[in-house]
A and B are shown apart, each in its own frame.
Chain A
Amino acid sequence: GAVVSQHPSRVICKSGTSVKIECRSLDFQATTMFWYRQFPKKSLMLMATSNEGSKATYEQGVEKDKFLINHASLTLSTLTVTSAHPEDSSFYICSARANPSGGAEVGYGYTFGSGTRLTVV
């Protein structure tokens, strides 16, 4: 089946530094990828939609200068958390639609990465 690879799985960084998270579609091309964030005991919240070759679309309340998204190729999207602070510590996860024609019976063809646990100290 379709695989979305996300790296790193865990990262610890110091306050003020930047961290880059990669999301790759391994066996399909994805013009659109999605970045989610999950706070402890909270739901997955959509942060932004990453569009290949164009600017990302950010959800309301998400700082675009804080969370830089680059989708330079059809198989790679990156999320960079800039000037990280402890409150940025969270679980970040990406997804992509492997089967654009997939219906609800296959979850619309979306596949999720394994997530990245970011801890800012």
Chain B
Amino acid sequence: DQQVKQNSPSLSVQEGRISILNCDYTNSMFDYFLWYKKYPAEGPTFLISISSIKDKNEDGRFTVFLNKSAKHLSLHIVPSQPGDSAVYFCAASAMYGNQFYFGTGTSLTVIP
């Protein structure tokens, strides 16, 4: 049973515009959420996270929003750059980093 879902397998955005990647989860026990970026033939690299006590976390061009009531989080990238083209995974954890549940990923293409 997929507890973390990313319903958009792909997204194309023009350079300089905003990229919005969405993630939904079903388990109300999840309290930490992370976004990973993955290039082909490489492992995922950590990008940004948010805990359930917050509804927003910002790091440079990357902002993650959490809506606990809707069990939904999103990653905003602005402005988008061609180097941001990659697969983005969201992940959730119910305990302090002990086990992650990953979404299926969204492939972002930023068009120059």
A residues sitting closer than 8 Å to B (CB atoms) are: 4, 6, 9, 36, 41-46, 93, 95, 97, 102, 104-115
State in angstroms the CA–CA spacing of A108 and B105 once bound together. Answer: 20
State in angstroms the CA–CA spacing of A104 and B48 once bound together. Answer: 8
Contacting chain A: which of B13-21, B39-47, B67-75, B78-86?
Answer: B39-47
Do residues B104 and A41 form an inter-chain contact, with CB atoms below 8 A? yes
Asked if A104 meets B43 with Cβ closer than 8 Å, knowing A42-B104, A43-B104, the reply is no
Do residues B89 and A44 form an inter-chain contact, with CB atoms below 8 A? yes
Which B residues, 43 to 61, have Cβ-Cβ distances below 8 Å to chain A? 43-46, 49-51
State in angstroms the CA–CA spacing of A110 and B93 once bound together. Answer: 13
Q: Contact partner of B43 among A41, A107, A108, A112, CB < 8 A?
A: A112
The 6 closest A-B pairs by CB, nearest first: A107-B46, A108-B97, A112-B43, A44-B102, A43-B102, A104-B49
Offer 30 A-B interface pairs, CB within 8 angstroms, sorted by A. A6-B43, A9-B41, A41-B104, A42-B104, A43-B89, A43-B101, A43-B102, A43-B104, A43-B105, A44-B44, A44-B89, A44-B100, A46-B99, A46-B101, A104-B32, A104-B50, A104-B97, A105-B49, A106-B46, A107-B36, A107-B46, A107-B49, A108-B32, A108-B34, A108-B93, A110-B46, A112-B43, A112-B44, A114-B43, A115-B43
Q: Contact partner of B41 among A41, A42, A111, A115, CB < 8 A?
A: A115
Beyond the given A9-B41, A43-B104, A104-B97, could you list 13 further A-B residue pairs with CB under 8 A, ordered by the A residue number? A41-B9, A43-B4, A43-B101, A43-B105, A44-B102, A46-B99, A104-B34, A106-B46, A107-B46, A108-B34, A108-B93, A109-B97, A112-B43
Asked if A107 meets B102 with Cβ closer than 8 Å, knowing A6-B43, A112-B44, A114-B42, the reply is no
User: Can you name the residue of chain A whose Cβ is closest to the Cβ of B96?
Assistant: A108
State in angstroms the CA–CA spacing of A108 and B48 once bound together. Answer: 11
List A contacts of B44 (CB < 8 A). 44, 93, 112
Asked if A43 meets B42 with Cβ closer than 8 Å, knowing A104-B50, A107-B49, A110-B97, the reply is no
List A contacts of B105 (CB < 8 A). 43
List B contacts of A106 (CB < 8 A). 46
